[in-house]
Every structure is written in C-alpha cells, then in structure tokens.
C-alpha cells in the first residue's frame, strides 16, 4: 500500500481527494496546521524547523500539496504569500534536505493567475496577468517551484472554479445555494455578468488521482470543464431547481476591484495526459448541493 502525504488535509478539496485515494488502495498521511484526528500531523508549513521535525522518519511515496490560503476575499494579504508561496517552497526544501524522493508531487496552483484574459479560451501557455494577491501568490509559487523540476517529479495543476457539497459558505456557489435552501426571496450579489469555468469537486479529485498515476511530470496542467457559466445563469438554474425566482440585487460592496470578467479554460492537455476532464454538469452539482 502506497502512502500519500496530503497537505491541507482538513480542507474542502482534500476531503474528496482523501476519500478517493483511499478507495483506490492508498494510505493517506494527513498534514494540517492543527490536528483534527489522532493520525493527523500538525505542522505549520511556514515553520521550516517544525516541518523538518514532522517529516523526519515518515515513509511516504507521493505528495498531494493542497494546503493554501484560498479565499480571494481573505483580509490578510500577507497570509497568501506566507502559506501559498513560502509554505510550498519550505515543503520542497525540507524533503530535499531529508533525502525524501517521492514518485510524484502534485502541487495545486490556481487559474486565477490568468487574471483578466484577452483570450476566450485559456491554455497553459496563455499570458499570466494576476489581478489580486491570491493570484499573485500562486504565480510566485509556480515560479519558485519550477526550478525544483530537476530534483522532483512535480506536476503543477491550475484548477479553475469548482464546487460541491461541503464547500464553505463564504464562497459564491454555496452562498447562492444556502439562500435557496432557506427559501429567501432576495439575494445581494456583485457583478451578475461574470462567468467562470465551474467543475464538480469530485471531478477535480479524479483529475488529481489520474495525474498522480500518470507518467508525466515537470509540467503545468489546467483542470477545467472547458465551459463558462455566468453568475446570472447559475441563479437561473437554481430558480428552476428550487421552483421559485429569487430577486437579485447588486450590492456595490460585493463588486470587487479588478474583478475577473471571464475565466474559461482549455482541458485539451489534461485529456491528452489522462483521457479525462471534469464532466459532471453544473446543474447536477447544484441540485445535489440544494438537496444536501
């Protein structure tokens, strides 16, 4: 049984990744900042000394690195760089110093690094124009990880937006679903015209598994459905699923400065590598979230 070190193991995405890898016969070694279960390794990735002590003597064959500060609206901008950039490079440095040689390391970046693109469909070669500190920290992380391609078999993944049961209510889709589940008549939102490439978190977990088991490394891969859906269209879907029309009001407080208008990715490279791309329809995901 192969063991996988899973960072950010108490997060939304990691819960699905952990369950799927275990179903496929892997042992998961969870690492989080604070321990939630007896088998969890509690360690702050920004503390190199503590991280080295935590990893010394551990036996694992692979790494799925999901630990990140992920909410774009998070108030402390310095935390993005501390966790997303410094934490990631600390992990690679400590493994190198300890002589740990995983068969594959999956590092989660973000499609937010594309910023406000001029292209309709974004490939891995598209221009990178980060518009906020979260995106800038992820781009900095990628730049600092790439030199490690010569030392470790690393795949950097750029997931576009995804959602599912269990995602925090501070994120847009769970916020919308909660309003409909509670039968509220009005919801205040920002720009209804923004469009995102939404996937189901279960499909994203499958992508991580298939990429981990692939022979490819030293590359960057988009994780996306290839279809963009506007916020107005999401509200319309939920109107139909809930059986009533909610009133939407634009609240200027929710209109972000430098808001990214459209993010739609190409999954051509993903399909070439693993023969799979996110495919669960957004309407199905919304229905399951509404009924959960």
Mean pLDDT of the chain: 94
Of the candidates 245, 206, 200, the one whose C-alpha atom is nearest the C-alpha of residue 225 is: 200
Q: 74-109 burial string, b = 16+ CB within 10 Å, else e?
A: eeeeeebbebbbbbbbbbbebbeeeebebebbbbbb
> pLDDT at position 94, please?
98
* H or E, element range at 131: none
Retrieve residue 219's tokens.
């590359």
> pLDDT at position 254, please?
81
Give the tens place of pLDDT for each residue, 168-197: 998 999 999 999 999 999 999 988 999 999
> pLDDT at position 35, please?
74
Residue 6: burial class (beta carbons within 10 Å; 0-12, 13-18, 19+): buried
Indicate if the pLDDT at residue 74 is higher than 70: no
Looking at residues 239-262, what average pLDDT do you find?
88
Indicate if the pLDDT at residue 224 is higher than 60: yes
Give the tens place of pLDDT for each residue, 92-139: 999 999 999 999 999 999 999 999 888 999 999 999 999 999 999 999
Alpha carbon of residue 136 to chain centroid: 15
For the ranges 25-34, 37-46, 96-105, 240-249, the lowest mean pLDDT is seen at 37-46
260 vs 234, higher pLDDT: 234
Q: Is 79 helix (H, G, I), strand (E, B) or coil?
A: helix
> pLDDT at position 190, please?
87
Indicate if the pLDDT at residue 72 is higher than 70: no
CB contact at 8 A, 41 and 30: yes
Indicate if the pLDDT at residue 220 is higher than 80: yes
Of the candidates 119, 114, 153, the one whose C-alpha atom is nearest the C-alpha of residue 135 is: 114
CB contact at 8 A, 36 and 60: no
Looking at residues 59-77, what average pLDDT do you find?
81
> Residue 53 and residue 94: Cα distance in Å, rounded?
9
For the ranges 22-26, 206-210, 250-254, the lowest mean pLDDT is seen at 250-254
Give the tens place of pLDDT for each residue, 10-36: 999 999 999 999 999 999 999 998 876
CB contact at 8 A, 159 and 277: no
Domain 3-164+200-224+265-279 has CATH 3.30.2040.10: no
- Per DSSP, which regions of the chain are E strands? 3-7, 27-32, 41-42, 62-65, 104-108, 154-159, 162-163, 186-189, 195-196, 199-200, 219-223, 229-230, 247-250, 262-263
């Amino acid at each position: 049984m192969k063991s996988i070190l899973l960072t950010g193991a108490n997060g939304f995405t990691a819960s699905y990744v952990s369950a799927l890898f275990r179903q496929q016969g892997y042992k998961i070694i969870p690492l989080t900042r604070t321990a939630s279960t007896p088998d969890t390794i509690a360690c702050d990735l920004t503390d190199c000394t503590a991280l080295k002590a935590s990893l010394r003597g551990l036996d694992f064959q692979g790494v799925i690195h999901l630990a990140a500060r992920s909410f774009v609206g998070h108030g402390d901008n310095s935390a993005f760089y501390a966790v997303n950039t410094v934490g990631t490079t600390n992990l690679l440095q400590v493994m190198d110093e300890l002589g740990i040689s995983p068969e594959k390391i999956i590092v989660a970046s973000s499609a937010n690094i594309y910023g406000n693109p001029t292209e309709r469909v974004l490939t891995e070669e598209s221009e990178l124009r980060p518009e906020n500190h979260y995106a800038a920290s992820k781009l900095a992380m990628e730049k600092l990880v790439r030199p490690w391609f010569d030392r470790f078999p690393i795949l950097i993944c750029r997931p576009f937006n995804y959602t599912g049961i269990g995602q925090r209510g501070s994120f847009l889709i769970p916020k919308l679903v909660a309003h409909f589940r509670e039968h509220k008549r009005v919801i205040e939102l920002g720009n209804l015209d923004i469009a995102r490439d939404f996937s189901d978190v279960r499909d994203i977990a499958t992508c991580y598994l298939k990429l981990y088991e692939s022979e490819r490394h030293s590359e960057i891969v988009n994780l996306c459905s290839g279809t963009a859906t506007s916020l107005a269209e999401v509200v319309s879907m939920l109107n139909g699923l809930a059986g009533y029309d909610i009133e939407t009001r634009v609240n200027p407080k929710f209109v972000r400065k430098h808001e990214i208008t459209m993010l739609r990715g190409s999954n051509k490279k993903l399909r070439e590598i693993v023969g799979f791309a996110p495919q669960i329809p957004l309407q199905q995901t919304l229905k399951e979230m509404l009924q959960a």
